[in-house]
Structure 1
């Protein structure tokens, strides 16, 4: 420190003392204000929110990565601004920039994230208002685009026959057979572990860390699903995952594997995608008129928007869902049997199960006996 600087600080301290203030206490106050300003920027609060998501909210890594990426769109303009000084106009400029790039859904998600940041600032005393809330109507309407799905029974039967003609790894074929039968999200099926299946009692429990809404989900298994899982256990029972990657048994098949199977079978993404089997099941089960729509929604793991009713219904419809899943599996078998052959597939396969494509009988018998003794 130069002599000139020292004299200036000394003079400031004397002035502070002359008006009845303690120079040391005043210096601490200014230092506190400085640190508070630094911790009150948009960047600081954004980092705090992300940390809470990682440590306290148990969000999936995929969701956290997505939120980090979205916030990067706001940081260049808002990052070092004090949170209490940011206006609705500034936030809107950021959101409209995202919209102009053609990502309306991302703009909606980013607005919700920014709103959460301001709510965090308010509860921690670093802001008094939430300007992001005023922008709910500033964004263009979202056009909901349903995922491509086959809901025509005859065409669905043809697709099921095509899946049975798949000539790749049998556990990948099994995943494709189970996807329309169980109609859960592809990621939930891909990441299924053998420990999640109670084949004796015909129950599949999807743990919370795999579920989209971070809540565990139990669903009954039809007899066809149990047979398929018992068949592939011969091949993948040495892995934690029921459907391990071809490259490593320590991780499940990838996101693109199931899409690739459909493409190999001759189906384009405009016709059907793996996630579309949920819409297929929902549509045809509701059209059947045989089952309570709430039971169908529960099987799909859709949460009731009425929180009180949702808590009450969480354990409901199990007996009906058991009957429904078996009826659905039998219905798919009938569609497959009645369907005409899809010419794009070439000669249809004569295999009706995984047995004709699997291990020798003696090995299969041994494994079944070992599984029964567990």
Structure 2
């Protein structure tokens, strides 16, 4: 073969040639590996290569001081091996970086906590409370150790369906939060761009309308008897608190011993736990006092009246578990815990002739006019004490199959 037609052989650089390389020079080491010297004399290794899609590209392998010629050649050989398998070294390096970041703060729990702290700064207190409950009781128990870089829609779907089984509306909010958490992970560089969760349509369609509730006194006895038959003392008493006081189930689930005055039969709920952000006093009927005293002997040092089984010192029962108990005891589609509020408002108005303002004050609803807001500051406490006791007596009479003749006493 004529010399001019023979392929050009590039000899590998010697250490002496590398050290003598001058500013502005580019020296070939073979197979695309080059030593590039900038204007200041800094030397770095660069590998030219052909991407799997046919485009030319280059990637830096480090400075000569930090990476020896032998190390640069070894890394270049590894890159060529990946290229033969269709792996672009730039994409590979990004994936490696993502994996290292994920190892530090990339579990679903870690990024969910970051997302929560970020979002809570602009949330109202009630939104913050609900989001915290959804994380602690619905999402983190099943998803906390999952890698946020790898978690898939198929991992999240069964969790959402489980939530939907006990609380359909809560499942919708949980789905929204999952999407936001993953979007936050992408923004933080912990998950690849474009890898959003595909959760649209994973939840069954639920009939729109009000909470399931009993609004006829004739339908109450089966509900009362079902509650009486519940084995768990905590669930039974919690549901009776919901039924007797018509308090929001989340507020009942988080009831603390330091909020109760059993001597005066009053429950002082702090503003931080109320939807409207106002302190609220809820009267307690005589029927609840011995039940609560019995619970006090069982809860020990827990600050909660209804402590969680796994961590009684720091967690209380989940409000949605109460509706689950109702379903398990034959009341599916009949009533949910929040529905007891409609029960009081409807039946106490119709059968006990309680004034609407007194009922609204007991339910801690927002008022529209300035006059009503002024009345709210008094909280109708005396009238509500009478209301709650009459309501509890009415319920007991229904439970005992007694003939109830409502005392149509005009409320003050």
Return the TM-score normalized by structure 2. 0.50
Q: Give the corresponding residue for 1:157.
A: 221
Deviation >6 Å, runs of 4+: 67-75, 100-103
Unaligned runs of 5+ in 1: 4-49, 80-97, 104-142, 341-374
Structure 2: distance between partners of 1:188 and 1:339: 32
Indicate the structure whose relative CO is greater, using CA pairs within 8 Å and at least 6 residues apart: 1
Pairwise CA distance, 1:248: 2.3
The structure with the greater share of residues assigned to strand is 2
1:203-252: per-residue Cα shift (whole Å, max 9, x none)? 10112222222222111111112221112111114211000112221211
Structure 2: distance between partners of 1:185 and 1:60: 16
Give the superposed CA RMSD. Answer: 3.8
5 Å matches for 1:100-115?
none
Q: Give the corresponding residue for 2:299.
A: 236
Instruction: Check 1:102–1:146 CA distance in 2 against 1; reply closer, same or farther (3 A cut).
Output: farther
Contact preservation (8 Å) 2:265, 2:285: yes
Structure 2: distance between partners of 1:173 and 1:52: 36
Structure 2: distance between partners of 1:189 and 1:229: 13
Structure 2: distance between partners of 1:177 and 1:69: 33
Structure 2: distance between partners of 1:311 and 1:52: 34
Pairwise CA distance, 1:102: 11
Q: Give the corresponding residue for 1:108.
A: none
Structure 2: distance between partners of 1:183 and 1:264: 21
The answer to which of 191-200 and 283-292 deviates more is 283-292
Instruction: Check 1:195–1:155 CA distance in 2 against 1; reply closer, same or farther (3 A cut).
Output: same
Structure 1: distance between partners of 2:292 and 2:379: 26
Instruction: Check 1:244–1:101 CA distance in 2 against 1; reply closer, same or farther (3 A cut).
Output: same
Structure 2: distance between partners of 1:73 and 1:144: 28
1:5-37: per-residue Cα shift (whole Å, max 9, x none)? xxxxxxxxxxxxxxxxxxxxxxxxxxxxxxxxx
The aligned length equals: 241
Structure 1: distance between partners of 2:372 and 2:183: 38
5 Å matches for 1:46-85?
54=121, 57-58=124-125, 60-63=128-131
Contact preservation (8 Å) 1:154, 1:339: no
Alignment pair present for 1:327 and 2:390: yes
Return the TM-score normalized by structure 1. 0.55
Q: Give the corresponding residue for 1:185.
A: 248
Pairwise CA distance, 1:291: 1.8
Contact preservation (8 Å) 1:164, 1:173: yes
5 Å matches for 1:239-254?
239-250=302-313, 251-254=315-318
For 1:276, which of 339, 356, 370 is the aligned residue?
A: 339
Alignment pair present for 1:317 and 2:380: yes
Q: Which has the larger radius of gyration?
A: 2
